[in-house]
Amino acid sequence: MTDNIIHLQPAFILKQRQYRESSLIIDVFTQDFGKVSLVAKGVRKTKSKTAGLLQPFIPLNLSYLGRGELKTLTHVELAKPYLQLTGLSLYCGFYVNELIACLLLTEDPHPEVFNLYENCLTDLLKSDQIEATLRLFELDLIEAIGYGLQLAYDLQHHKTLSPEARYHFDIEQGPIESPEGHFSGQTLISLQTRTLEDPKILYEAKLLMRHVINHYLHGKPLKSRAVINQIIKHL
C-alpha cells in the first residue's frame, strides 16, 4: 500500500512534544482532516529552518504522508501574515487549543470549527473582548460537534424564557425556571443571540459553559484553565 500524501493543508499546531534526539511530535488541527499527529524529523537540530514555524497560533500550510496514527511531516510554510498572541490572550489561546484537543476526535473533519478557531484567535487580540470571545467559541464548538444547547425554551413549564426569571440548566432539556436557579433568563437569551456585553451576564455565561464543558469532558480537568485562573488573580 502507498502512503496517503497531503499537500499544503491549512493547519494550526495545538501542541508539541520532544521525540527522540532531534525530532518533535506535533498535534495539528487541519482544515479538511481534523486533528492529526505528525512527527517532524530533525527539526530540533541547530541548523533546522522549520523549528521556528512549528509553534501554536501560527497559520501554516503543511504537507505530510502516512497511513497510521502518526504521520510524517514533509513540508511546512507560513500560510499568511499573523499577529502573535501575548499575555492573557496567549494563555486563553492555549485553553482554546486544549478544548479542541479534548473534544474533537482524531481525523474527524470539522472545517467549520477550523474557521471558528481562526476567527477566535483574531478576536483574542482584542483585550477588551476576551471573555465574550471565549464564551462564544465554547458555545459554537459545542454546537458544531453535535451537542448544541437548548437555550430558548423552558420545556418543563412549556413557555419561552423571561429575562427577569431565574433558571436551573439541564444539559439535556435546557432551562428550567426556579427561584433558586443559578442563571438569569437574560443570560440565557444573550447566549442564544450571541450578544454578551454586560459583566454580570458574562460571569453567569462563564459558569454555565464551564458546567457544560465539564459534562462533556467527563470531569477531566483542563490544565490551561487552572493557569488562566492564577494569572487573573494576579492582574
pLDDT tens digits along 40-93: 999 988 777 788 899 999 999 999 999 889 999 999 999 999 989 999 999 999
Contact present, 143 and 212 (Cβ < 8 Å):
no
146: buried, middle or exposed (CB in 10 Å: 19+, 13-18, 0-12)? Answer: exposed
Single pTM value for the model: 0.92
In whole angstroms, give the CA distance from residue 114 to residue 69: 21
Q: How far apart are CA 53 and CA 121, in angstroms?
A: 17
Give the per-residue pLDDT at 1.
43
CATH architecture designation of domain 87-233: Up-down Bundle (1.20)
Alpha-carbon distance 31 to 14, whole Å?
Answer: 13
User: Same topology for domains 5-78 and 87-233, yes or no?
Assistant: no
Given a contact cutoff of 8 angstroms between Cβ atoms, the answer to whether 128 and 88 are in contact is no
Name the least confident of 15-29, 30-44, 177-191, 220-234.
220-234
- Separation of alpha carbons 11 and 29, rounded Å: 5
Mean pLDDT across the chain, nearest whole number? 92
Give, for 114, the enclosing helix (H) or strand (E): helix 111-124
Domain boundaries, the chain: 5-78, 87-233
Query: What percentage of the chain reaches a pLDDT higher than 90?
Result: 80
**Fold designation for 5-78:** OB fold (Dihydrolipoamide Acetyltransferase, E2P) (2.40.50)
User: Where residue 191 falls among pLDDT bands split at 50, 70, 90?
Assistant: very high
For residues 28 and 57, is the Cβ–Cβ distance under 8 A? no
- Taking the C-alpha atoms of residue 155 and residue 26, their distance in angstroms, rounded to an integer, is 45
* DSSP E strand stretches across the chain: 5-19, 23-30, 34-40, 60-65, 70-78, 153-154, 159-160, 166-170, 174-177, 183-184
Q: What is the DSSP string of 5-40?
A: EEEEEEEEEEEEEEETTTEEEEEEEETTTEEEEEEE
pLDDT of residue 233 exceeding 70, the answer is no
